[in-house]
Amino acid sequence: MVVTAVEWLDGKLRILDQSKLPGEQVFVDLDDYGDVVLAIREMRVRGAPAIGVAAADGIALGASNIDTTDKGEFVARLQGVMQNFAASRPTAVNLFQAIDRMKKAIRGDGVAEIRRSLVTEAKQIHQDEIVATEQLSRLGAELIRDNFTLLTHCNAGPLATAGYGTALGVIRAAKEQGKRVSVLATETRPLLQGARLTTWELMQEGIPVTLITDSMAGYFMQQRKIDCVIVGADRIAANGDVANKIGTYTLAVLAKENGIPFYVAAPTSTVDLSLSSGDKIPIEERNPEEVTHVQGVRIAPEGASAANPAFDVTPHRYVSAIITEKGIIREPYTEGLKGMGGRSL
Ligand code: MRU
């Protein structure tokens, strides 16, 4: 693993503040669950699986913050903690899967026992993401051939997963299998996860990476410079529609037009079988200032209005395969995803 994005350290949560990368590598220790909610909302921890892991740890932390020995009161206040996490970011389903697992872990006769059960479950959720992302990366690497140039969007590496990575995990595993691979990384406006984080992670891995602006992708596809596109996901509906960082849909359409495979790599904790199709996935709207400003510097005129949907949905017909830890799924996705045991909330 390149870095540990989220780490439970006996009674507190250590996160690497991703908003400061690559300029500064700042680890922050959080001992109040409200600060974990804020860190998710402000994207100091980000990426679907990492959000789920941080929320699980944050709930365990919240349980330790509740100062009562009355079980009824404790559980009622714990529900409030969970609701705060549920309201932090709406699109990544890993968050809701993690909250659901933590709810089921409210077990035990007394408060102390429940607290211990929650810590155990939070650690298990983290461990499950590590194992799943390693496994899917190894499986996905079979799709990558020697000398491939891959295009990726946003950041889907160890930072985003608190594990091995999804899209970047597949690329890392291909390299470990001895394949020569290189990457074109889109900068990913507005928050520049590609420019700031993907380049940083790949450079540390010794994987050649070339940064491009989002609008250059079509040009490089037309020039036959890209062998496949690989991205992560924030939520995959039962029919295989994929919500991922805004701009993913554009890349998928361009890939199809240019006859380039478009792969999605995600653990089954990202699959939401309760939604029949992607149009039901809630799309996060973020502060327009993220668009009118770059890293705090205004680039649009004062008073200019801006829109800022953080994700889009790629219809499954553009997706060549979905790579999960349980196998590589192709059309028809409905059967394949159900067979892989993706969860229903
Ligand atoms: O808004 P972000 O940075 O949390 O969005 C992250 C993404 O869209 C990633 O591609 C996705 O979570 C997959 S992470 C393995």
Got the DSSP string for 20-54? GTTT---EEEE-SHHHHHHHHHTTSS-SHHHHHHH
Pocket test for ligand 1, best of 137, 154, 286 (most atoms within 8 A of CB): 154
User: Atom of ligand 1 at shortest distance to CA of 154?
Assistant: 10
Closest to 263 in 3D by CA, of 242, 282, 235: 242
* Active-site residue, 70 included: no
196 lines ligand 1 (CB under 6 A): no
52 lines ligand 1 (CB under 6 A): no
Bridge partners of residue 236, in order along the sequence: 242, 271
pLDDT surpasses 70 at 273:
yes
Question: Given strand 271-272, what is the order of strands in its sheet?
Answer: 271-272, 235-237, 242-245, 311-314
pLDDT category at 340 given cuts 50, 70, 90 is: confident
User: Under a CB-based contact definition with an 8 Å cutoff, are residues 243 and 311 in contact?
Assistant: yes
* 91-107 tens-digit pLDDT: 999 999 999 999 999 99
Pocket test for ligand 1, best of 133, 193, 200 (most atoms within 8 A of CB): 193
* 178-211 tens-digit pLDDT: 999 999 999 999 999 999 999 999 999 999 999 9
* Residue 152 backbone phi and psi in degrees, to 5: -130, 160
**Residues with Cβ within 8 Å of residue 203, at least 6 apart in sequence:** 209
Ligand 1 center–CA 244 separation, angstroms: 6
pLDDT surpasses 80 at 341:
no
**Residues with Cβ within 8 Å of residue 327, at least 6 apart in sequence:** 139, 336, 340
User: Under a CB-based contact definition with an 8 Å cutoff, are residues 16 and 5 in contact?
Assistant: yes
pLDDT surpasses 90 at 2:
no
47 lines ligand 1 (CB under 6 A): yes
Residue 53 CA to residue 295 CA, distance in Å, equals: 26
Ligand 1 center–CA 75 separation, angstroms: 31
Q: Which residues of 201-213 are buried (b: 16+ CB within 10 A; e: fewer)?
A: bbeebebebebbe
Whose alpha carbon is nearest atom 2 of ligand 1? 47
The per-residue pLDDT of the chain, averaged, comes to 96
User: Atom of ligand 1 at shortest distance to CA of 153?
Assistant: 10
Q: Which helix (H) or strand (E) holds 135?
A: helix 111-141
161 lines ligand 1 (CB under 6 A): yes
Give percent above pLDDT 70 in the chain: 98
238 lines ligand 1 (CB under 6 A): no
Whose alpha carbon is nearest atom 6 of ligand 1? 47
342 lines ligand 1 (CB under 6 A): no
For the chain, count helices (H), then strands (E).
13, 16
Going along the chain from its start, the domains and CATH numbers come out as 6-134 (1.20.120.420), 137-337 (3.40.50.10470)
pLDDT category at 344 given cuts 50, 70, 90 is: low
User: Atom of ligand 1 at shortest distance to CA of 133?
Assistant: 15
**Which residue among 234, 241, 272, 312 is the active-site one?**
234
314 lines ligand 1 (CB under 6 A): no
pLDDT surpasses 80 at 271:
yes
46 lines ligand 1 (CB under 6 A): yes
Ligand 1 center–CA 155 separation, angstroms: 6
93 lines ligand 1 (CB under 6 A): no
User: Under a CB-based contact definition with an 8 Å cutoff, are residues 21 and 48 in contact?
Assistant: no
Ligand 1 center–CA 111 separation, angstroms: 35
Residue 72 CA to residue 295 CA, distance in Å, equals: 45
Helices 93-104 and 111-141 cross at an angle (nearest 10°) of: 140
pTM: 0.97
Give percent above pLDDT 90 in the chain: 96
| Pairing of the two strands 297-298 and 293-294 | antiparallel
Exposed, middle or buried, 259 (CB in 10 Å: 0-12/13-18/19+)? exposed
Task: Identify the pLDDT of residue 339.
Answer: 83
Residue 115 CA to residue 101 CA, distance in Å, equals: 14
